[in-house]
Structures are given as structure tokens and as C-alpha cells.
Amino acid sequence: MEAFIAFVLAVSVASFIAWPLLTQQQSLAAVQGGRDFGPGRWERQKIEAYAAIKEAEFDHQMGKLTDTDFATLAGKYREQALAAIAAIETQTADKPRAAAAQRPSRIAYCPGCGQRVSHAAKFCAGCGINLLAAGK
């Protein structure tokens, strides 16, 4: 009976310890399998490429990489970063236009008194009119 309890306890502890390792491998396999096509993928690729360039620069400064190895690695990671940036720009090309169309226009002069107002002002300093409501 004691052996059975010890066995169940050992299996439970091993499962508890192995669970994060198994789930991490599954999510990594999903990303490597090409199933992660969201905008986060390109942002992640860009950040990882920047980090790899910094690491290569540090290794080069420390003397761990030769000039030719550094040039090869840095070129490879720069290409990855540029590809990610191009993909991000392609995906977000239409978003600024749509956001600009929905954004209320800012006015430079108060419609009530004609005084010049700053672009960040919500109310006119001269007459106190609500500029956000007047700009719509």
C-alpha cells in the first residue's frame, strides 16, 4: 500500500514538473510550424532581429567574432529586421487613413470669438467655448 502511494505521489510530482515544458514545446511548435501569422509575429521578428544585432555587436567588440563573421551575421539579421518592418508597414498601410478619417479635425481659430487656439486646447481661452464640440 505504501509503495502504491509513493508511486502515485512520484507520478504526480513528475507530471507537475513536466507540464510547463510540454506546453511550451507545443506552443513553440505552433509558431515554428507557420501557424502564427498575426501582426505580433512580425513585431516579434523585428525585436528578435534587433536583439541579435546587438548581441553580435557585443561579441564583435569583445573579440569573439571576426570582422567577416560580424558582417555576415549583422547583414543576415538586418535583412530579417527589414523584412519584418516591411511586413508591418504593408499590414498597417490602410489603418492610418481610416484613423485619420475618423479623427475629429482640430481647428486653429475659435469659431465663437476668432481667437487663435493651440492644437491641444479643448476650450477657447477667450470665450470658453468647447472646441471639441465646435470642431465636429
Between 126 and 87, the higher pLDDT residue? 87
DSSP class of residue 116? Answer: B
**What is the percentage of the chain residues whose pLDDT exceeds 90?**
26
Q: 131: burial class by Cβ within 10 Å (0-12, 13-18, 19+)?
A: buried
Q: Does pTM surpass 0.85?
A: no
pLDDT of 111 > 90? The answer is no
Grid cell in block for residue 113: 470669438
Which residue's C-alpha cell is 509558431? 31
Q: d(Cα 27, Cα 77) in Å, to the nearest integer?
A: 24
Q: 110: burial class by Cβ within 10 Å (0-12, 13-18, 19+)?
A: buried
Q: d(Cα 23, Cα 20) in Å, to the nearest integer?
A: 5
First and final C-alpha spacing in the chain: 79
Average pLDDT of the residues in 82-104: 71
Grid cell in block for residue 102: 475618423
Q: d(Cα 122, Cα 117) in Å, to the nearest integer?
A: 9
